[in-house]
Amino acid sequence: MSVAFAGVTPAMPTRDVGRAIAFYEDVLGFDAVVRERDFALLRRDDATVTLWGATDESWQQRTDWGTPVCSGAESFIAGTASFRLQVDGIDELYAQCGEHVHPNAPLHDTDWETREFGVLDPDGNLIGIWERSS
């Protein structure tokens, strides 16, 4: 029996799923194929991204910080995730991303034959976008 991986679907935490959907649709051109209160599934071409609500605010009343993550959906988790997205047409996408480009990650060529840049979603999660140079 052999196993073959078909793809990866990052799961990105967000404090506001609706706001995050708007970013992925308007800035990156994804389409939401599933929309729920605290969950969304977005697709564009062969790329899939899951958004989930990191909306638990109960951590703000805690006094015992021995285990900071209890529910796994604490709002402070939003903004701590990242993933990389391979594209074709990076120059066009870079121009489209405008103000969302990470200030320390403008479009640049790397020593490992890629062109890359980074964007921040509304929560501050990092999306590294790259294309093969050759």
Domain boundaries, the chain: 11-55+80-132
pTM for the structure as a whole: 0.90
Residue 13, pLDDT score? 98
11-55+80-132: CATH topology is: 2,3-Dihydroxybiphenyl 1,2-Dioxygenase; domain 1 (3.10.180)
Q: What is the pLDDT of residues 83-96, one digit of tens each?
A: 999 999 999 999 99
Q: Which pLDDT does position 20 carry in this prediction?
A: 98
| Amino acid 91: pLDDT | 96
DSSP string for the chain: ----------EEEES-HHHHHHHHHHTT--EEEEEETTEEEEEETTEEEEEEE--B-GGGG----SSS-SSS-BGGGTTS-EEEEE-S-HHHHHHHHGGGB-TT--SEE-TTSEEEEEEE-TT--EEEEEEE--
